[in-house]
Amino acid sequence: MSLLVVGLSHRSAPVSVLERAALAPEGRGKLLQDVVSAEPATEAAVLSTCNRIELYADVDKFHAGVAELSTLLARHGGAGLEELTPYLYVHYEDRAVHHLFSVACGLDSMVVGEGQILGQIKDALAVAQEQHTAGRLLNDLFQQALRVGKRAHSETGIDKAGQSLVTFGLEQLAGGPDVADWARGKRALVIGAGSMSSLAATTLVRSGVGELAVANRTPARAQRLVQILTEPGGPGAATGLTARAVAMDAVAAELARAEIVVSCTGAAGLLLTGEQIAAALAGRTDRMWLLDLAMPRDIDAAVHRIDGARLVDIESLADASAAAPGEPAVSAGPVAADVDAVRAIVAEEVAAFGAAQRAAHITPTVVALRTMAADVVSSEIARLEGRLPALDDKQRAEITQTVRRVVDKLLHAPTVRVKQLASEPGGAGYADALRELFDLDPQTVAAVSRADRHDAAQERA
């Protein structure tokens, strides 16, 4: 089996295509089940964020796997296969590992170095585990990706240089890095109470907004976010922030007062239309700044054309991040040395992961070989007992121990060496050679592999 990733992101596709291909949160589980039900795949995980949709799978056939994963991405999203195909990228085996590790470090993010992707990778693994579609390979891969991302942020300056998409978006609204001067005293409305919306609300509060309303389809989540922001020790406690949770049907009324609006929900359609924003601005002399971090979008793109409104959405952020290739976006860019250091970490970790996986691949064959040797010893000892019935218990034990010691010594050097060789690039063939040389039963080896996967599943449970 081999690792395959098929996906599209802000680097490969226009935002309009990403928007149509976006997955609803509740649809990810069904997608994963369909992937593992397909013939080429035995494991699957989906990484779906506001600027990428990627399917990871353990497949036994490359071309069939690419075709199946591409078809399922199209079927579960809102874009047709013919529309998606020109924008899909494919990574296989070590290149797939390298891609995920780079993503985890923020090297493939819209804003290089941002750390929020780590939480999204963690969520992707959690969903796959809940759906029982993550086996040993994908569990190892995603857990290692999280460790690599954390290592990159702790060992290099990319953590200080990188920033979240929320901060980048607010900087775009503010027209520069000084978000606090721009936001101070303003009235803000945040729609949604998920991780991105919560981060936006926290950032705005720390930047000094005077008033905050949080709207969410689940009122308790909005109320909880407000409580966290205003409780003693919270970011709004020292500023005397006025904050409240509101129902979604109160959003129209809140728009009439809001100066800053941030929206990031999982809604399938538009939450705010151009007509609603125009109505909210009617008779007002102040401006309205809107940040839409949802995919698909929450706020009608027509708002770009409304006087008095300034909208920044995923498409705007993609344009801003690509405005000067090779140059940092706004104030977010890490120095080249930090990027090079992170790339070196990724390369090192990819090599280590590959070596560990190749070594693990040969383990069932080694176990099967030692099991066969033990069976031969047991058979020969039984045969000897039949020929020499006069042996006492002490003699029998001594002979048995001697024979086992001889077998262990004969097998020790070749099994240790074959594990070392298997961990090197191109070492996967040593397992086949071992099976051929010792005429090992493939079913016995497969049984060991199944037992390993069962033990891993029990550990996860």
Taking a C-beta distance cutoff of 8 angstroms, is the pair 20, 81 a contact? no
Do the strands 211-215 and 187-191 form a parallel or antiparallel pair, or are they unpaired? parallel
Do the strands 260-263 and 288-292 form a parallel or antiparallel pair, or are they unpaired? parallel
Q: Is the peptide bond before 296 cis (omega within 30 degrees of 0)?
A: yes
Structure tokens at 414: 């070749």
Decide: helix, strand or coil at residue 258: coil
Decide: helix, strand or coil at residue 214: strand
Q: Compute the distance between CA of residue 350 and CA of residue 248 in angstroms, rounded to an integer.
A: 46
Q: Compute the distance between CA of residue 30 and CA of residue 45 in angstroms, rounded to an integer.
A: 11
Buried b or exposed e, range 436-459, using 16+ CB within 10 angstroms: eeeebeeebbeebbeebeeebeee
Segment holding 393, helix H or strand E: helix 393-422
How far, CA to CA in Å, does 270 sit from each of 32, 213, 265, 302? 27, 20, 10, 11
CA torsion through residues 315, 325, 112, 103, sign: positive
Q: What is the DSSP secondary structure assignment for residue 389, as one 8-state letter?
A: T
Decide: helix, strand or coil at residue 56: strand
3-state helix, strand, coil in the chain (%, to 5): 60, 15, 30
CA torsion through residues 6, 9, 14, 15, sign: positive
CA 29 and chain centroid, separation: 15
How far, CA to CA in Å, does 447 sit from each of 2, 139, 170, 280, 443? 19, 21, 55, 66, 6
Q: Compute the distance between CA of residue 428 and CA of residue 239 in angstroms, rounded to an integer.
A: 61
Q: Enumerate the active-site residues.
A: 50
End-to-end distance of the chain based on CA atoms, in angstroms? 23
- Order of strands across the sheet that contains 242-246: 242-246, 211-215, 187-191, 260-263, 288-292, 309-312
